[in-house]
Structure 1
């Protein structure tokens, strides 16, 4: 388990807790991963998962855990995950110091 390589804001922790509560399954963790594509090259993806693969990295902060696969982890090291609600909608976003460019929506980036 790693605690300091990817941070969660208080807002993200609260939203993750609320979503897990709504799904009535306290074994769920937020899985964060990177896919190729998007307008800038890579895109962030989020889903809930109760299964951790042997090589996944488990990060606990507050009362929640996130799971990141090792390939995605290398792109996220030093990043911060936040949750925002605005006129465009609501979403988890990543503030990623490794990203050279990001798109306007904040969901894709390149290295």
Structure 2
């Protein structure tokens, strides 16, 4: 007779992918700005609002308050906040920080944007 080994361990599930990508470069710049402000409770809030030449535009601000509908992401000691409405338009996007010949700025690469304006700060979903 042969014995059959059975594995009764619980199945392992992968964690869901993050709602968006927050690059090391962006996280480092946010940390630098938070350190300059001297307030470790500050978090970077990324949002989408109506306006701009393409219909919607991106916005960035620092915030100490986390709302009930906010999605939070942490990287390298800083926290990114996205409200539920904005998350619909930012899901799968990459938030990066570029410092090159065109200047220093946060940049959003958004796969949901079908049209963007020349400056890159507004889009059409």
- Confirm or deny a common fold (TM above 0.5): yes
Instruction: For 2:47 and 2:111, locate their aligned partners in 1 and report how far apart those are by CA, in whole Å.
Output: 16
Tell me the equivalent position of 2:83: 69
Query: What residue ranges of structure 2 are gaps of 5+ in the alignment?
Result: 1-15
Q: What is the Cα deviation at residue 62 of structure 1?
A: 2.7
Instruction: Look at both structures and tell me which one has the larger radius of gyration over its CA atoms.
Output: 2
Query: Larger relative contact order (C-alpha < 8 A, sep ≥ 6)?
Result: 1
For the aligned residues, what is the CA RMSD?
1.5
Q: What pairs with 1:18-97 in structure 2 (closer than 5 Å)? A: 18-97=32-111
Residues 3 and 59, structure 1, Cα contact 8 Å, conserved in 2: no
Structure 1 counterpart of 2:115: 101
DSSP 3-state at the match of 1:26:
coil
Name the SS of the counterpart of 1:59 in structure 2: strand
Aligned residues: 110
CA contact (8 A) 2:28 2:76 kept: no
Under a length normalisation based on structure 2, what TM-score does the superposition of the two structures give? Answer: 0.82
* TM-score, normalising length: structure 1: 0.92
CA distance in 2: counterparts of 1:63 and 1:92, whole angstroms: 18
Cα deviation, residue 3, structure 1: 6.6
- Which structure dedicates a bigger proportion of its chain to strand? 1
